[in-house]
Structure 1
Amino acid sequence: MRWDHEKGLKRESENREKIIREPQFMRNHRKSFIMLGFMAVALFNSATGQETNKSKPEPSLTSAREKTVINIWPGVAPGSEQWKQPETVIGSVGNQRIMNVSAPTLTAYLPDPSTATGTSVLIAPGGGFVWLSIDSEGHDVAKWLAARGIAAFVLKYRLLQVEGQEPAQVAQSASAALGAVMRNRSLIDEYSKHGIADGIQAIKVVRTHAAEWGISPERVVLTGFSAGAILTSAVVLQSEARPNYAAPIYGGPFNEVPPIPQGLPPIFLAVAQDDASAEPLVTRFYDALKAAGYKPEL
């Protein structure tokens, strides 16, 4: 189900904007934090000896190969066999948000082989596990990276299923669900569990196809924004399939930080000091990593 932004009634459009409006700090600082995510990946690329030639001209965003969509699970994703709500997209191209994701995918943006560095980045957009800001925190990031020789994969992960027949109704249900989790933080465990499973599976898929896609299985980066940063943190802390580098941006473990295990990869974190929602999460995660003997960057 797709909402036609151009043909929608003005009143419905205005209502939608109110329903899915972002916090002020996010609207003010989004571009800065997304650039921090880019910089974190660039630092990893440079530190591992794969920096692109600085003498080359600034690459064009069109210099990546055509994008490809990959299903990350064979068949129906485990745990969502009974999900019936259709996937819903609202907003115009470039500012789209997706709700009721039940079929998780990776959208691959592979660089031109002549510029490929061997590094790959999986990108988890934010949206409170009720929607995905798929363009600004997903496809836009991927295009930027691919144009610079880095294979990028946008993770469309599963979300809490919400009710509604029309897109505006679905958005309203999603907004109500987001409000509920802000009032009861324990709900995030239920909201996020399928998305986290998708993050783990996505890393496995990328490593399995590394040779086919011209990337190194030892140079896999996971980054995420807001809820995507919560997902990133959870994937890093489990042992089934960790990335080689992680960059959770304005987000971290939402409730109590679990015990910090051995063998974690380098971790870069970023958050605004005036972000009342995310700053405590990020600072607490940073402190826990430091106490466990790691050297995270913040």
Structure 2
Amino acid sequence: MRKIILAAAAVLHLSAIGEAAAQQVVNLWPGAPPGTEHWTHRERVIEGTPVGTVVFDVSTPTLTILLPEPGKATGAAVIIASGGAFVAQAISLEGFSVAERLRERGIAAFVLKYRTIEKNFEGVPPMNMDSVGQYGIADGIQALRVVRSRAAEWGVRPDRVGMIGFSAGAMVTSAALLQADSAARPSFAAMMYGAPFGVMPAIPSRLPPMFMAWAQDDAVALAPILRFHDALRAAGHRPEVHIFSGGGHGFGMKRQGTSSDYWPDAFFHWLEAGGFIPAPQPAGT
């Protein structure tokens, strides 16, 4: 049976990984987040869904910091934005499970819990994604500021702070990537089966390194993903692209027996090639 719990206990129930690895949770904004001071909905979490633990009705955005062991730390950091159409977030499948893989490779992981609109309806009706996503996007950009401002405290390099987003989280990531202030952009950005889902933003002529991945049988987001990829190419960019034959939408850290199971390996190789993390040393060296 699904169990609904209040936000105050959310961190304890995100996953066994989250329990073991979470070191600190910080609020993104000093005081009420700008633009939603009037929000009154209370955060809730549902466990045991087909995509693991899901969080709804987020009005207080946070970062959960999961740092690697000091001897493994590479100085790189990744802010993780899970998906859920801006009404929910698959916080275990696309958040804490991803964070654990990053920590294993010496990468500091910051699980972003961004604002979502109140879920007082059944299903996911047609929505203006630019409107409902504006608060999550603001939180993603703020998360970059917070991590860089406290980089020394958390043992990361400000020039190696990247983002990875899944589905709606990829829209958050792409907006941070495309923002007008080039100095505030992530050092690298990975968009997993997601893209700008509303009006296509302007594509700057210079952008940080980009990684994109999706499955050919994605029945949810394939059209906007391809549109975004085409827009990047038309603007002269060459993102790293991995197109899997199967995996569907929202594969996250699922093990499905498809080639999409191995996207983390491709992502780590890409980070190595870009000089953001070192390649693993052979045993005995």
Bin for the TM-score computed over the shorter chain: 0.7 to 0.9
The corresponding residue for 1:218 is 159
The aligned amino acid for 1:68 is Q
| 1:179 has 2:125 as partner | yes
| 1:135 has 2:92 as partner | yes
Q: CA deviation at 1:65?
A: 5.8
Mapped to 2, the partners of 1:255 and 1:87 lie a distance apart of 26
Q: CA deviation at 1:148?
A: 1.8
Q: CA deviation at 1:155?
A: 0.3
The corresponding residue for 2:36 is 80
* Mapped contact 2:130–2:199 kept (Cα < 8 A): no
Mapped to 2, the partners of 1:248 and 1:194 lie a distance apart of 18
Q: Deviations over 1:149-181 (max 9, x none)?
A: 100000000001233xxxxxxxxx2x44x2232
Residues 22-171 of structure 1: pairs in structure 2 closer than 5 A: 66-92=22-48, 95-163=52-120
The corresponding residue for 1:54 is none
Q: CA deviation at 1:143?
A: 1.4
Q: Deviations over 1:74-108 (max 9, x none)?
A: 01111111111110111149921111100000000
* Mapped contact 1:271–1:278 kept (Cα < 8 A): no
SS in 1 for 2:65: strand
Identical positions, percent: 50
The corresponding residue for 2:4 is 3
The corresponding residue for 1:189 is 130
SS in 2 for 1:154: strand
Q: Deviations over 1:198-244 (max 9, x none)?
A: 00000000000011111000001111111101111111111232101
Structure 2 unaligned spans of 5+? 6-16, 242-285
Q: Deviations over 1:90-131 (max 9, x none)?
A: 114992111110000000000111110000000000000000
The aligned amino acid for 2:42 is P
Q: CA deviation at 1:256?
A: 3.3
SS in 2 for 1:194: helix
Alignment match of 2:234 (pick from 276, 288, 291):
291
> Once superposed, which parts of structure 1, at least 4 consecutive aligned residues long, lie more than 6 Å away?
none
The corresponding residue for 2:169 is 228
**Higher-RCO chain (CA-CA 8 Å, sequence separation at least 6):** 1
The corresponding residue for 1:248 is 191
Q: Which has the higher strand share?
A: 2
* Mapped contact 2:205–2:236 kept (Cα < 8 A): no
Q: Which has the higher helix share?
A: 1
The aligned amino acid for 2:56 is M
The TM-score, its normalising length taken from structure 1, stands at: 0.71
